[in-house]
Amino acid sequence: MKLKEKKRKAKKEARRRNRKKAISQSQSLCAGEKEYVHQRKRVVLESLSSLGINCTTDSVPHIALLASGGGQRASVGLLGSLYQMEKEHLVDMLLYLGSVSGSTWSMSSIYSDPQWSDSPDSLDTAVSRLSGPEVPLEKALAWLDERAEEDYFSLSDVWGVLTSAGIMKQMDLRRLSDEASRKATNPYPIYSAIEKYCYLHGPIQGKWFEVTPHEAGFTELGLFVKTSLLGSKFENGKLLVKEPEMDMVKLQGILGSALALDQTIKDLIPPWLNVSGQMDGAAEDYLRVYNALDKLVALTRSTIKDPTALSDLDKLQKILEDMLNHDKSVWLESKSLEERKSSFGQWSLELMAAVQTWSQSLEDGAFKTNVSLLTKQVLPMIRKWEWGTTGNFLYKYQDSTVPPYLRSTETFHLIDAGLLINVAYPSFLGEKRDIDLIIAPEYSAGNMFETLTLARDYAAEVKKPFPDIDSKILEERDWPKGCYVLEGKEKAPTIVHAHARTHARRLLLPVYRYAAEFKAKMEDFSTFQRPYSQEKIEFELETAKANIKINKETLLREIKKAVLRRHNKM
């Protein structure tokens, strides 16, 4: 009996050790990040000294650049901001670089070069790639075909491969955990997502999710796994099946998947349908199908050059637009609410059928083969509307702090963090990373202060310090200044909130003299649209560069204050 009891205890202890290894629970830096930051501080110290800023090893400030989301606008904007910061010798002062949504696309592209912040030509290469040769559709579809065989295939895979190939012009097949062994040449990268169910239903502790080269997990819960294990199958803290780590293409699809949420689709409602009481489940499904097909055509177009194939895509675009206009006419002529609502389900099926018919009508050849593969993989997923499906490492995890939903499901759904807060503030608040200064270039559309107020409210709910926001500042939301400094007190970080669109105004106002004209022009740079033209890319780059250049002295002043602040903490 004693021998059996010993064996039972030994097995229990082995399970406990295994669980402890697989899942870590801590609000402190993991060993890998801690060592990287330690090494990175040497780079920051040297950079500060080169600019005549007195600093000791112990007083190296914790500075983070947090780029907002905003689709291609944010993706191009981050490149422009970093390009100018490199010219002003400011990049090496950054300890961290964080991003959400569209800015994650360019951030992942930049980090494909292990030495990007130490190589003058690296950012030039990243910028030139945006207008460079497209990734062939065949290559993108080969990647997609492989993902379709996996257990957790979703629309995020489709979105990831088409934004990678069509917008960033790069298929980055490396794994994020590959960066764990790199030297601390670059700022430490942190990507952010949110868990969909917890975002919609709570609690707040289950919402924010961060991914670094070393670990991935829930920021507020403090529960993490090694990044190489994200997506693997777990039960009660035990690793059951180790799945291959997702590559950066798939991760990019998850991080920038704003379309995953129904509310985003509702924001794209055409005016004729935007009538109170008309939207039900069938209407929302119709909008999802139409907008997904519209984006699919646009992104596919950006991966091909063949004139005949482009002409065929024009025909499909015309078919979809004609069907939308026809549906509008029928909807407006419908006499009853029930008659209108019953039409949407049929129209969704007709849209899908139209794509199938168009696909079958193409001339035999490579393009038809590729389109057939694409429609085979994508059309069923559009109807299912499943995004960011990921193996849940907290499934049946025995800890009362874990929300019931996360304990009860084998998978969770990671989507665009910008849907919650369009800047990655949650990962950089509190004692874990102990940030002194946040530089936040803002590329968002709409209310320029929304990310700040949302972050302030989030911080209050999770009881983390955040700087005060003067109510007078918020009154300037429609026509803001180029830069605002929110002074951090005690444990709250100082935030330099810089508005790239203010400098867009300065560039455009010589032509567009009135606010209404300017706002109308800026609609050309809306978040959801086809890949940017060369003209739009150059405009966004110059806007972001101007934002940094004009605010250089403010940044240097706040960096010096951050050094003093860190010194006083020691």
pLDDT along the chain (570 residues), means of 10: 59 51 92 97 96 91 96 92 94 97 94 90 88 86 92 93 90 96 95 97 97 98 98 96 96 91 61 53 78 83 86 91 78 65 80 91 90 86 90 96 96 96 97 97 84 96 96 79 90 92 51 50 55 84 92 96 90
Domains in the chain, number: 2
**Domain end among 354, 382, 410:** 382
Query: 356 and 268, same structural domain?
Result: yes
Residue 334 pLDDT: 63
- 569, amino acid identity: K
**Domain end among 382, 407, 432:** 382
According to DSSP, the β-strands at 233-235 and 238-241 are: antiparallel
CA distance 282 to 386: 16
Instruction: Give which of 37, 35, 98 is closest to 45, Cα–Cα.
Output: 37
List, as one string, the DSSP characters of 453-521: HHHHHHHHHTT-------HHHHTTTTS--SEEEE---TTSPEEEEEEHHHHHHHHHTTT--SHHHHHHH
Burial of 504 (0-12, 13-18, 19+ CB in 10 A): buried
Domain assignment of residue 331, yes or no: yes
Q: Which domain holds residue 289?
A: 258-382
CA distance 78 to 319: 36
Handedness of CA 560, 561, 563, 568 (dihedral sign): positive
Instruction: Give which of 161, 114, 100, 153 is closest to 134, Cα–Cα.
Output: 161
Domain assignment of residue 548, yes or no: yes
State whether residue 88 is helix, strand or coil.
coil
Query: 364 and 405, same structural domain?
Result: no
Query: 287 and 160, same structural domain?
Result: no
CB 426, CB 220: distance < 8 Å = yes
CA distance 495 to 501: 18
CA distance 149 to 147: 5
Q: Locate tokens 């991760």: which residue? A: 251
Domain assignment of residue 6, yes or no: no
Instruction: Give which of 265, 215, 268, 252 is closest to 100, Cα–Cα.
Output: 252
Domain assignment of residue 50, yes or no: yes
CA distance 227 to 563: 32
Residues 125, 526, 533, CA angle at the centre, nearest 5°?
A: 40
CA distance 66 to 69: 10
**Domain end among 355, 382, 409:** 382
Instruction: Give which of 558, 550, 541, 555 is closest to 81, Cα–Cα.
Output: 541
Domain assignment of residue 177, yes or no: yes
Cα-atom radius of gyration of the chain, to the nearest Å? Answer: 25
- 76, amino acid identity: V
Which letter does DSSP use for residue 260 in this model?
G
Query: 420 and 365, same structural domain?
Result: no
- Reported for 359-365, long-range contacts at CB under 8 A and 24+ positions apart, including other chains, are 362/312, 363/308
Domain assignment of residue 8, yes or no: no
Residue 432 pLDDT: 97
Residues 352, 354, 355, CA angle at the centre, nearest 5°?
A: 70
Query: 205 and 343, same structural domain?
Result: no
Residue 157 pLDDT: 95
Residues 392, 395, 399, CA angle at the centre, nearest 5°?
A: 125
Residues 465, 469, 472, CA angle at the centre, nearest 5°?
A: 170
Query: 245 and 221, same structural domain?
Result: yes
Query: 420 and 328, same structural domain?
Result: no
Residue 207 pLDDT: 98
Query: 262 and 243, same structural domain?
Result: no
Instruction: Give which of 550, 516, 522, 547 is closest to 536, Cα–Cα.
Output: 522
Residue 441 pLDDT: 94
Query: 481 and 357, same structural domain?
Result: no
CATH of the domain at 533: 3.40.1090.10
Instruction: Give which of 421, 570, 558 is closest to 493, Cα–Cα.
Output: 558
CA distance 409 to 426: 25
Domain assignment of residue 552, yes or no: yes
Query: 170 and 118, same structural domain?
Result: yes
Residue 515 pLDDT: 53
Query: 101 and 211, same structural domain?
Result: yes
Instruction: Give which of 160, 177, 427 is closest to 295, Cα–Cα.
Output: 160
The H or E element containing residue 565 is: helix 552-569
Query: 117 and 201, same structural domain?
Result: yes
Residue 409 pLDDT: 97
Instruction: Give which of 392, 380, 382, 415 is closest to 263, Cα–Cα.
Output: 415
State whether residue 414 is helix, strand or coil.
strand
Domain assignment of residue 355, yes or no: yes
- Tell me the whole-structure pTM to 2 decimals: 0.88
Question: Residue 406: phi, psi to the nearest 5?
Answer: -70, -25
Which letter does DSSP use for residue 208 in this model?
E
